[in-house]
């Protein structure tokens, strides 16, 4: 009798572990299907570039952009809804963060315009974070049928594991997004430092050349003052 109970307990535990394993594999697949995107591109002078992002109905879409290189460090920014309505419009900005909530189902148009600049091209970084109504880690339908068997000896329920995985996934995604934004800030600061270094070096060399020319002119002028070319007869 004890052997039979131990066998049933072992089978129940193995069944529970198998269910958790299947859920873990499905969660990994769900993690891979991510609508978030980031991109860095070169915006030529006098041109505009548009990108399209698919959004879900009644979700949220967050767009963050930065101009990390180029004279003036500014662009015109526009977001158009799937119906062609201007949702957000900005002029001559170097960075910005915008949240579209709730979103419409369809493709949003995100445009960067550098037509006001005739000679200077811009390096632009932007990131799009899209969240649907159902969340990031699957929906409720994916959990139907994954009920905890009777008499299971698992320490946590599947619902608790699901909530923990969702919280962990959201925090990891936010950490990744923050690291990406910090890298963009670092790239912009590095470009500014390199540009300032070139300017400082150029004007320092120009100042040294001017000082040398002034010194040579002063020495030459003083020597001409004491240079007496009149002949003396004895």
| pLDDT tens sequence for the chain (234 residues) | 544 444 445 555 544 544 544 445 444 444 444 567 888 899 999 999 999 999 988 888 999 999 988 888 899 999 999 999 999 999 999 889 999 988 899 999 999 999 999 888 999 999 998 886 544 445 555 555 555 555 454 555 677 777 878 888 778 877 877 787 787 778 778 878 888 888 899 999 999 999 999 999 999 888 888 776 666 555
Angle at 49 between CA 43 and CA 54, to 5 degrees: 130
User: What pLDDT is recorded for position 152?
Assistant: 53
pLDDT of residue 27: 47
List C-alpha distances in Å: 147 to 20, 151, 158: 10, 12, 8
| pLDDT on residue 230 | 64
- Interatomic CA distance for residues 125 and 177, integer angstroms: 13
Sorted by sequence, the CB contacts under 8 Å of residue 204 that are 6+ apart come out as none
Distance between CA atoms of residues 191 and 197, nearest Å: 10
Say if pTM beats, i.e. exceeds, 0.95: no
CB within 8 Å of 61: residues ≥ 6 apart: 53, 55, 99, 100, 101, 103, 108, 128, 129, 130, 131
**CATH architecture of residue range(s) 30-184:** Sandwich (2.60)
* pLDDT for the residue numbered 135: 47
pLDDT of residue 25: 45
Closest of 184, 186, 195, 177 to residue 40, by C-alpha: 184
């Amino acid at each position: 009798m004890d052997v039979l109970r131990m066998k049933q307990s072992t089978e129940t535990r193995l069944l529970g572990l198998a269910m958790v394993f299947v859920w873990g594999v499905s969660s990994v697949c769900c993690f891979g299907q991510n609508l978030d995107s980031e991109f860095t591109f070169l915006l030529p002078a006098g041109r505009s570039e548009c990108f399209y992002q698919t959004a879900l109905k009644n979700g949220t879409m967050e767009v963050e952009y930065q101009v990390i290189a180029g004279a003036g460090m500014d662009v015109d920014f526009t977001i158009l809804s799937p119906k062609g309505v201007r949702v957000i419009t900005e002029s001559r900005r170097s960075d910005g963060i915008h949240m579209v909530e709730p979103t419409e189902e369809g493709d949003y148009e995100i445009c960067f315009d550098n037509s006001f600049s005739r000679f200077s091209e811009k390096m632009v970084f932007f990131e799009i974070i899209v969240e649907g109504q159902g969340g990031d880690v699957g929906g409720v339908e994916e959990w139907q049928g994954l009920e905890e068997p009777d008499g299971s000896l698992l320490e946590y329920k599947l619902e608790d594991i699901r909530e923990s995985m969702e919280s962990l996934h959201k925090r990891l995604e936010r950490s990744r997004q923050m690291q990406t934004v910090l890298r963009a800030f670092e790239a912009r600061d590095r470009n500014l430092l390199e540009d300032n270094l070139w300017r400082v070096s150029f004007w320092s060399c120009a100042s040294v050349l001017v000082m040398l020319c002034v010194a040579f002119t002063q020495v030459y002028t003083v020597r001409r003052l004491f240079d007496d070319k009149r002949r003396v007869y004895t």
